[in-house]
Amino acid sequence: MTQLTPAYLSDKHAAGLDYADYLASDPSRAPQWQAVHDRLTLSDAQTSLLGSFTRRMKVICLSGTWCGDCVAQGPMFARIAEASPLIDLAWLDRDEHADLSNLVRINAGQRVPTLIFCAEDFELVGYLGDRTLSRYRSIAAKQIGAACQLSGAEVGGDELADTMQDWLDEFERVQLLLRLSPRLRQKHGD
């Protein structure tokens, strides 16, 4: 049985594409992705945060160019990775890599997008997909409506910015986990 070992994750990461090549694999859908990418900007504080990262992280994005959630969120991952030379992001098509997708099922489904976060040596740190809390709140507010009170914070006014912040928070969480890891601190002498 296949497991999420460092060797397996390293092989999957190596099979991945960079963002431009991933979009080029489906030219008919690339303009949708590019339109979202062009709308996204990082604040000075967000750029500074990403620039402060000290641990390299390997990230695999399971995605589908056809997926609406991927179109909405995938460009966010690209912007985040563009702002930090320590984020090595590789894109894999979920259907072409069903073996990996089956290993990171969420609620019994092959969800996309799913980010798989690894340390520099491909030790698994964790994975998260398909939507962030802000995105779920927004969808719930639209689908459930006023008849059902939503728990938690109110739905924000700028779903795109709120979702981007959610993903940035996850990248920061992983960075802090890597930075505070006794194993990696011993390895790097810090």
Residues with Cβ within 8 Å of 102's Cβ and at least 6 positions away in sequence, in order, are 110
- Domain spans of the chain? 6-131+167-188
Helix, strand, coil abundance in the chain, percent, nearest 5:
50, 15, 35
Helix/strand/coil for 105: coil
Angle at 168 between CA 131 and CA 184, to 5 degrees: 110
Q: How far apart are CA 27 and CA 98, in angstroms?
A: 22
- Please state the rounded mean pLDDT for residues 92-112: 96
Per-residue confidence (pLDDT) for residue 4, from 0 to 100: 97
Digit-coded pLDDT (tens) for 49-58: 999 999 999 9
β-bridge mates for residue 144, sequence order: none
Digit-coded pLDDT (tens) for 56-97: 999 999 999 999 999 999 999 999 999 999 999 999 999 999
Per-residue confidence (pLDDT) for residue 146, from 0 to 100: 60
Digit-coded pLDDT (tens) for 127-180: 999 999 988 888 888 888 665 554 544 545 688 999 999 999 999 999 999 999
Per-residue confidence (pLDDT) for residue 157, from 0 to 100: 65
Per-residue confidence (pLDDT) for residue 148, from 0 to 100: 52
- Tokens coding 76: 């966010």
Angle at 168 between CA 87 and CA 26, to 5 degrees: 65
Per-residue confidence (pLDDT) for residue 120, from 0 to 100: 98
Per-residue confidence (pLDDT) for residue 158, from 0 to 100: 87
Looking up tokens 């963002």 gives 19
Give, as one character, the DSSP assignment of residue 111: -
Per-residue confidence (pLDDT) for residue 84, from 0 to 100: 98
- The pTM score is 0.93
Q: How far apart are CA 90 and CA 175, in angstroms?
A: 17
The stretches of 16-150 forming alpha helices (DSSP H) are 19-24, 30-39, 44-51, 68-82, 98-103, 133-143
Q: Are 53 and 101 in contact (CB under 8 A)?
A: no
CATH homologous superfamily of 6-131+167-188 = Glutaredoxin (3.40.30.10)
Per-residue confidence (pLDDT) for residue 155, from 0 to 100: 47
Per-residue confidence (pLDDT) for residue 137, from 0 to 100: 84
